[in-house]
Structure 1
Amino acid sequence: MNDTAIDYAAVFQALPGILALLTPDLVYADVNEDFLRVTGRTREQVVGHHIFDAFPENPDNPSAKGMRNVEASMRRVLATGERDTMALQRYDVEYPDRPGQWEERYWSPVNAPVLGPDGKVRLLAHRVEEVTELIRARGGPSGTRTRVLEAELYTRARELQELNDRLRQAHAREREVALALQEAMLPARRQVRHQAVAVRYRPAVGALNVCGDWYDLVDLVGGNRLGVSVGDVVGHGLPAACVMGQLRSALSAASRVAAGPAQALDVLGRYAHVVDGAESATAVTTFVDFDHHAIAYSSAGHPPPALLHPDGRVEFLDKATDPPLDARPDPIPRPQAETGFTEGATLVLYTDGLVERRYEDIYAGLARLADSLVAHRHEDPETLADAVLLDLLPSGGATDDTALVVVRL
């Protein structure tokens, strides 16, 4: 149908269900065929008429407040620009050909705004579900009460569904903002001199699962040295992404002036103490000295980096592990360890989304990582990074973020 214009007026008339369009003055602008059929009115009796002129209230039955409730709902839509789902309403509808005679009807309405280019409400879309026969099905007072309750439950279920739809939309918007924020805060690989580096970030699946995983690469002062770090903030969404940005920036700055990775984490821990949401965040940082073929490292509650040696041996750097950031009321100096490497080795830092799985020991994930690194040890960093993600992440996506840094030494 790319070459055929859609006749939306015909579509509106053909849509099943009771549908009407009203102006902001609550005058009927258009109604569909089902609306006319159910209400027993002609187009001339409705279109161009105010809602109360087309459907007046029954002056002899003050309890029939359906039309007044509909008007109040439409006023809310006009004021807020948001959809309003109403509870089941009872109406007294006057027979158009028998003035003064009224029929009891039960309708379940929804009113939604139709916005113009300026964002203002130009029309009101009024949709109604006819449930009168459902109410009358069993007859008698007890049967009527039962059917009214059933209809009320149906209406409430629909309201909950629409609320869930709104929440999903809000969460999707939050996810987009959080991902954009993370992308803006995470450093580019080209910011460091060392070129044999691959970085990957994979967000968790699901609208709510944008987390606070991060990585950092920084050229260190003095000699041919590189600082490589990863971290993980507890929580999800925008708050976690904001905390992530603060901690990454703080560690990046501290690494440039610190004597070693332990001192950099000491500074980060003190900073985390004054950042709301940084409690129990984890991080690991490594200082790679290419001139002396040595790696100094320190970990604050984070999974250990992996060092893949050229001969295929995998060494996990787990000799300097300490509690997460801000875990102690009175912080003490963190431990630091050092290991050597030969040219052609590969350093891999990652967050727990890569190796941790629910109901599984962490060592099973570390073993999978080691097997994958050995299987692809001859690949360049970019290819190796992709292969590790393919081997370790679930095919449908992980429920936790994953950050990965691969450095060929």
Structure 2
Amino acid sequence: MTGAEIDFGGVFHALPGMVALLTPEMVFVDANDDYLSNSGRSREQLVGRYLFDVFPDRPGDPASTGMRNLEASLRRVVESGERDAMALQRYDVESLDRPGVWEERYWSPVNAPVLHADGTVALVVHRVEEVTELIRARGGHAPGDRTPVLEAELYTRARELQEVNERLRRAHAREREVAVALQDALLPSPNQVVTHHAAMRYQPATSSLNVCGDWYDLVALDGDRMAVAVGDVVGHGLPAACVMGQLRSALSAASRASAGPARALEVLGLYARSVEGAESTTAVTAWIDWERHTIAYSSAGHPPPALLRGDGRVEFLDGATDPPLGARPEHVDRPEASTDFVTGDTLVLYTDGLIERRTEDIDVGLSRLAAALTRHRGAEPEALADALLSELLPPGGVTDDTALVILPL
């Protein structure tokens, strides 16, 4: 049988176990035969309807939380683009034959995303294991039958696991809050560099596991010059925020004492070898000289800065790219390149969260960035920064944090 001969619709409906397809707004697109038979609903009663209109929590019962927990899981999938497995849940399902009568059901769900080419969530696969008969105590057992006891123990363990998962979720949320607060405290404010105004943004990831690690920095140099840098630590969370703070400060100091951007990155690379968690960090720094109208730059494995010309053309500064920090076992001089600019050009530095998507080549993201810059040429720096974040970041939430610096020249 060839791939062209497979009836994937027929395969979906014949899948063993309950499977439904939902939109990111949690509206039923389809459901397989097992889902229909086990839920007691027809396809017409599901397709096109909001999941929690069909299956609400039992009103007036504070212990009926299965649907609320399911909604939280589905929202995590839509926001993160990652699979979410739930602990065993008790659901109260209203009988269609006897309105007002609610049946206890025990389902173990797994929710997984189906992604568009740009990494956003197109559909959510909602798979459910029906374990009601294994959980609730049944009458008519033979003497000595331990089935009800084992079922009760299984349910207790499942509830304990659910409570552990909820505590972990709250702990991750708290860690995210602390890490983002630390990140904000370590990043420079716009008024710290007064010679030339730049728009700066830090957009944390939606997931608590992927926040912090990106940074930006601006350093006023002697004469009418400025060093601008962005970087990306491999790790996430509080440890990444701490490493980020050390590397940003080190590069800031190295820029003030070095002869150029390549030498500053060399110093940063040597320092990174002594910082646990700094390995494979990427960074790029550009030095702007307004008197000579030149940009000198060097990159350690980072996406290239974009130079938006006044006429709308976009040039990517990729002439001095080298491996990330700590990637080589021995020290090697880093490359440096330069280009000219004219008044009215705009320099844009960013981290990979702005352009990279798991399902596409990086060149697609770079082309998307170039097109957005061309569309918004002539915009003020703050407006341009807002437009780029609005247009280029996935609407369902970002899975990686993003740093962005826009500097008019």
CA distance in 2, matches of 1:138, 1:334: 79
Aligned to 1:244: 244
Runs of 4+ in 1 over 2 A off after TM superposition: 14-17, 133-136, 193-196
Report if aligned partners of 1:213, 1:230 keep a CA contact under 8 Å in 2: yes
Aligned in 2, Cα 1:141/1:324: closer, same or farther, shift over 3 Å? Answer: farther
CA distance in 1, matches of 2:274, 2:338: 30
Deviations 1:176-229 (A, max 9, x none): 1101110000001111123331001100002222130000001012x1001100
CA distance in 2, matches of 1:252, 1:386: 26
CA distance in 1, matches of 2:376, 2:216: 22
Aligned in 2, Cα 1:291/1:160: closer, same or farther, shift over 3 Å? Answer: same
**Structure 1: gaps (5+ residues):** 1-13, 18-132
CA distance in 2, matches of 1:373, 1:203: 22
1:139 to 138, 141, 151: 141
- The alignment's TM-score, normalised by the length of structure 1, stands at 0.66
CA distance in 2, matches of 1:337, 1:169: 47
Deviations 1:338-372 (A, max 9, x none): 00000010000000000000120000000000000
- DSSP 3-state at the match of 1:255: helix
Q: Does 1:231 align with 2:231?
A: yes
Aligned to 2:189: 188
Report if aligned partners of 1:285, 1:299 keep a CA contact under 8 Å in 2: yes
CA distance in 2, matches of 1:390, 1:172: 24
Report if aligned partners of 1:211, 1:234 keep a CA contact under 8 Å in 2: no
Deviations 1:4-50 (A, max 9, x none): xxxxxxxxxx9878xxxxxxxxxxxxxxxxxxxxxxxxxxxxxxxxx
Aligned positions of 1:8-47 closer than 5 A: none
* Paired amino acid for 1:151: A
Aligned to 1:162: 163
- DSSP 3-state at the match of 2:146: helix
Aligned to 1:355: 355
**Structure with greater Cα Rg:** 1
Aligned to 1:304: 304
Aligned to 2:325: 325
CA distance in 1, matches of 2:137, 2:374: 69
Aligned to 1:341: 341
- DSSP 3-state at the match of 1:140: coil
Aligned to 2:287: 287
Identity across aligned pairs (percent)?
Answer: 68
Report if aligned partners of 2:179, 2:238 keep a CA contact under 8 Å in 1: yes
- What is the aligned length? 279
Report if aligned partners of 2:183, 2:212 keep a CA contact under 8 Å in 1: no
Deviations 1:132-172 (A, max 9, x none): x9546232146x32222222111111111100111111111
* Paired amino acid for 1:137: G
Deviations 1:78-136 (A, max 9, x none): xxxxxxxxxxxxxxxxxxxxxxxxxxxxxxxxxxxxxxxxxxxxxxxxxxxxxxx9546
- DSSP 3-state at the match of 1:267: helix
CA distance in 2, matches of 1:16, 1:324: 53
Aligned in 2, Cα 1:135/1:387: closer, same or farther, shift over 3 Å? Answer: closer
CA distance in 1, matches of 2:169, 2:136: 31
C-alpha RMSD over aligned residues: 1.6
Report if aligned partners of 2:190, 2:197 keep a CA contact under 8 Å in 1: no
* Paired amino acid for 2:390: L
CA distance in 2, matches of 1:181, 1:250: 17
Aligned in 2, Cα 1:349/1:16: closer, same or farther, shift over 3 Å? Answer: closer
CA distance in 2, matches of 1:136, 1:232: 57
- DSSP 3-state at the match of 1:228: strand
Aligned to 1:381: 381
Aligned in 2, Cα 1:290/1:134: closer, same or farther, shift over 3 Å? Answer: closer
- The alignment's TM-score, normalised by the length of structure 2, stands at 0.66
CA distance in 2, matches of 1:16, 1:202: 36
